[in-house]
Amino acid sequence: MERGILVQRAMNFNYLALLATLGNTHSALSGKRVINKERTVKKFVFLHYGFEKPTPEIMAAWGKWFESMKDNIIDMGGHFRGGREISKAGTRDLPLGLESITGFTIVSADSLDAAEKMAQSNPYILSIRVYEVMSK
């Protein structure tokens, strides 16, 4: 069942990337989003850290945040469950905890400072890290 969900998400992501490229509003290869063919904005990935059992208050806060960000969200991302780290030393399980990466969101912004400002209003549990997606 989990494999089926992952395959479906990958297919949805590829479909959205294809639509974006064909619609000339996103460039899947450049890492940039073109708006009005005059202004190019950058993509940023928000990595969400920390886990708490969701409460109605937490879910409402996330809903408000997504609504306030709707014009900048490229991919709402998703929540992670446990994972694995693969290295030369071997593989180890990554359970969910306060130090875990628990999800991601991809947004468009003019600069890292603008993306940071968006992230500051996020109802994060422990922290949120913001990375710019490199373009050519």
For residue range 90-121, list pLDDT tens digits in order: 999 988 877 889 899 999 999 999 999 999 98
At 25, is the pLDDT very low, low, confident or very high (cuts 50, 70, 90)? very low
Q: What is the pLDDT of residue 123?
A: 86
In a domain, 21, yes or no: no
In a domain, 63, yes or no: yes
Total number of domains constituting the chain: 1
Residue 57 CA to residue 118 CA, distance in Å, equals 20
Residue 117 domain boundaries: 36-132
For 41-75, write each residue's pLDDT tens digit: 899 999 999 877 888 998 899 899 999 999 999 99
Question: Given a cut of 70, is residue 29 above it in pLDDT?
Answer: no
At 39, is the pLDDT very low, low, confident or very high (cuts 50, 70, 90)? low
* 3-state secondary structure at position 92: strand
In a domain, 109, yes or no: yes
Residue 124 CA to residue 118 CA, distance in Å, equals 12
In a domain, 58, yes or no: yes
DSSP assignment letter at 51: -
In a domain, 92, yes or no: yes
In a domain, 7, yes or no: no
Give the C-alpha distances (Å, rounded to integers) separating 109 from 3, 16, 19, 24, 26: 33, 19, 20, 18, 13
Residue 121, domain CATH: 3.30.70.1060
Give the C-alpha distances (Å, rounded to integers) separating 64 from 61, 75, 80, 94, 98: 5, 16, 21, 30, 23
Q: Considering the entire predicted model, what is its pTM?
A: 0.67
In a domain, 3, yes or no: no
* 3-state secondary structure at position 75: strand
